Amino acid sequence: MRAKREEIVGWVTEFLDLDGVRRERDLFNDEILRWYELKQKIETALFAKPPYEADKRRFIRIPNVSFASSFDDGISRSDGIIKEISEGGLFISTNDPSPAGTDLTVTLYLPQGEGFEAKEVNIHAKVVYTNFGSSMTAQSFNGMGLTLLTTTPKIEMEKWQEVMHKLLRETAQTYSAHA
C-alpha cells in the first residue's frame, strides 16, 4: 500500500527534527530506533528501496539529482555532475575520476533562485571507489563515489546539511503531489 501525502511529509518532518536533536546530543535508545524506522520508511516510500537496502547505509541517499560540481586534488581541477547525494557522501559523474583513496576538495554549485541561501558548498571528501560505466546499464555512470571527511569546516557542513534537508523536503512534497 502506498503511503499517503500527509504520512510521507510527516515522516520527513519528524526525521529532520530527530536529526537536528542528533546533532545537539546523543539520541536515547527509543529515539535511535524511531530515527532508523523513519529512515527506512522514507527510503522505501520515496526511493522505492526495499527495507533491507534502506538499512545498509547510515544516511538517506537522494538519487537523480543534478548539481554542477568541480573537484580538486591539490594538483589539478576537474568538473562533474553530482548524481546522488547523502549527508555522508556523494557520487560525481565525470569522465576524469580520481583514483580510490584520493582526498579532494569538492565544490557543489547550487542553482540560484531555488531557495538555497549559499551559492556553493565546499567540502573535503575521499574517493571510495571509481566507476567506469558500462553500456549494459542505463544507471551506470563514469564517476566516483566519495565519503565526506571530518576536515570539512563546520560552516560548510552546515550548508551541506541545509542542502540535504531541502532536497529531502522537496522530494517528499513532489512525490506526495503525485500520490
Residue 165's CB: how many other CB atoms inside 10 A? 16
- Assess whether 83 and 99 both reside in one domain: yes
- Assess whether 14 and 76 both reside in one domain: no
DSSP H or E segment with residue 109: strand 103-109
pLDDT (0 to 100) of residue 136: 46
Domain containing 112 equals 62-152
Asked if the structure places residue 165 within a domain, the reply is no
- Domain of 91, CATH number, reads 2.40.10.220
- Assess whether 73 and 140 both reside in one domain: yes
- Assess whether 27 and 99 both reside in one domain: no
The C-alpha cell at 154 is 563546520
- Assess whether 30 and 95 both reside in one domain: no
Task: Please provide the distance, in angstroms rounded to a whole number, between the alpha carbons at the two ends of the chain.
Answer: 11
Does 1 have pLDDT greater than 90? no
Where do runs of H (alpha helix) occur along the chain? 5-24, 29-47, 51-54, 154-178
Query: What is the rounded CA–CA span in Å between residue 72 and residue 77?
Result: 4
pLDDT (0 to 100) of residue 134: 60
- Assess whether 47 and 68 both reside in one domain: no
> How many separate domains does the chain show?
2
Q: Give the DSSP letter of residue 30.
A: H
Rounded to two decimals, what is the model's pTM?
Answer: 0.83
Does 14 have pLDDT greater than 90? yes
What are 70-121's pLDDT values in tens digits? 999 999 999 999 999 999 999 999 998 999 999 999 999 998 877 888 899 9
pLDDT (0 to 100) of residue 140: 64
